[in-house]
Every structure is written in C-alpha cells, then in structure tokens.
Amino acid sequence: MIKNKKINKKSFFKKSFIKIARKIGYELIDQSDLTVVTKNKNINENLSEFNIKNITVPLGEIRIQRKIKSLLIIFRSFTNENKLLSQNKKRIFEKEKKEYTFRSLNSLCKSIKNVKKEIKNFKIQLKIIDDNSNKNVLKKIENICKFNSVDFVLSNLNVNLYKKEFKFKNNKRMQAHNSHIFASKEYAIKSNYDLIYFVEDDYLHSPNALTEMIFTYQKFSTIHNKDIILCPSDYPYLYSKNQPTNVIIGHKIHWRNVKESLCTYMISKKILKSCWSFYYDMMINNYDPYEKPLHKLYKKYNCYSPIPSLALHVTNINSVYGLSPGIDYKKFWENSKTK
C-alpha cells in the first residue's frame, strides 16, 4: 500500500513537471527509451512544429520567423523523344521516356501525400504542363494524380506563344524546351503561391523529399533572415569542382551550399519576381551551360542541395549531371513504379 502511494506521488510530480515544461516551451527527453515525453513521440519522429519551431536533437530548437503559406509544384512533362536533350545517350534502365515521366510523377505525388499527413490544412497544388504527349500518355498522367488523390491542373504547351522571344532560331528542340521553361515561370509568377517547386520529369523523389524541403526551407531562411533556394538532388558534377562549401543540418538530413544547379529547384515567388531578369535571360538564350544565369543568381541567394539526395535525376549512368552518389538507384526506381 505504501509502495503504491510512492508510485502515484512520483507519477503526479512527473505529469506536473511535463505540463510546466510544455507551458514554458521546453521539450523533455527520456533518454532511457528515447521518447520525447512532452510530445508523446519517439526521438526519430518529426518533432518540429510547422511555422512555429524547428527542433533538431541535440541542437535544440529554432523559432521560425519565415512562415510558409502555400506551395505550387510545376511539373514539366515531355514524352515524345527517348534520347536525352543534350546527349545522344540512353537513360539508366533504358526504358521509353514516358516510363520515366510516369514514375517521376508518381514519386512526386507520393511525396505530396506525405506532406499532407505531416502538415494539416496546407495549401498545395500540382500544375502539370505537358509538351504535346499523346492521349494515352495524358490519360495515364491524370490517373496517377487521381490515384494519389492529388489536386492537379493539366495543360498543354503552346510553343508559338514564346518563339518570338528567343535569340536563337536554329534549334527546334531547344525552342520547345525553353518554351516549357517560359510557360512554367509565367504560370508561377501569375499565381498566388508562396513557394514554387519547378520539377523536370526525370527526377524520382523519395517519399519524404517534399516534407524535408519545406521544413528545411523555413529553417534556413529563418537562419539567414532571407529567402533561399533548394535543390532536391545531390548533383555529382559539383563534387569535381573542389570548391569550399558550408554544411548545415536541415530538418532531418544535412545540406550543403552550392553555386550551381539544373532546372529543378524550390524558390519563393518573391525571388522569382524580384530576379525575373535572371530567368528571362536564361529562357531567351541557349547558353552553355543552359543554367548559366542561375549561377549568377546564386551569388545573391544561398542555394542548398541535400546529402544524401532526396531525388534521383535519372540520366545516363556515365553522366556527371545525373545520378547522385551513395544512394540505391534500384530502390528509387522500384518505389516509383506505377500501378
């Protein structure tokens, strides 16, 4: 009887202490079983509170100043050619281009579903701009989105709307590519979304990719007190540059500061609007590399890429612009398979 009284007394003081800790904003960790008793969560679960605070064990919390209101994802699909845009080579796994598009979209939709689980009442929309795929492909794209219960809008690219803007005329495939870029930027700048994620259709995303990017975006932009840019892929060619970098802990993984990227990245509408001249310059020209204006932009805004990669850029096995090092390529491929 006396023993039970002691247990109840201990339990009472423990519960009271937890309540006090919650009220004053502290988190308590029971290191005997690695549970966060103030949240009733395991230490490996998401301890952060969206738009309130980011928590990294054992570094503590960062109070979020950069609130994120909404996310627009613009997915550019092209399925009419099987070869790479700038290389006469086949992609890894050597399938038809449409298969990469389907798997890329499916993996993206899965990642969107995880965001909805983690962040309640968050406005997120998927805009798909397709470059004249056949009806069967378009139907499959629609089915993938509907199967994943993703809010989406599908439209077709009209190259004629943008051709007059280009400073080059001798490359029809590149004109179509730049028109695709142009259409996505134009749609984004006319939208009413806070963050924008531009995605090419040969990136296979991990299920946690978007969740990691959203939480990391608000954490890093709070630290810098300025908007940033995030890439989902750990590009292999950047390791050959031998340039100094900063490594920062994001939401769940490490990120490193980079000075270059390809055309898949997350930015704010604020950056897009204020730096429109950089994007316009890239869209009307055919630079080598194509993303040259972006590299100038990254001197003004910090750009980060993940370690390990959150998305696999599916190109040729020998391309330094594609397959991220140190990840399981087959796992990414199998996990993105459509039904």
pTM: 0.90
Same domain assignment for residues 92 and 199: yes
| 237-247 per-position pLDDT tens digit | 998 888 889 99
pLDDT: is 41 or 164 the higher one?
164
Residue 234 domain-assigned? Answer: yes
Position 3 pLDDT exceeds 50: no
Same domain assignment for residues 294 and 326: yes
Measure the CA–CA gap between 304 and 291, rounded to whole angstroms: 16
Residue 235 domain-assigned? Answer: yes
Measure the CA–CA gap between 265 and 181, rounded to whole angstroms: 13
Same domain assignment for residues 17 and 110: no
Written as six digits, the tokens of 201 are 């259709």
Same domain assignment for residues 164 and 276: yes
The Cβ of residue 223 has, within 10 Å, a number of other Cβ atoms equal to 15
How many independent structural domains does the chain possess? Answer: 2
Residue 328 domain-assigned? Answer: yes
Domain enclosing residue 11, as ranges: 2-63
| 76-104 per-position pLDDT tens digit | 999 987 666 555 678 999 999 999 999 99
Measure the CA–CA gap between 92 and 259, rounded to whole angstroms: 26
Measure the CA–CA gap between 317 and 75, rounded to whole angstroms: 23
3-class state of residue 126 by DSSP:
strand
Residue 70 domain-assigned? Answer: no
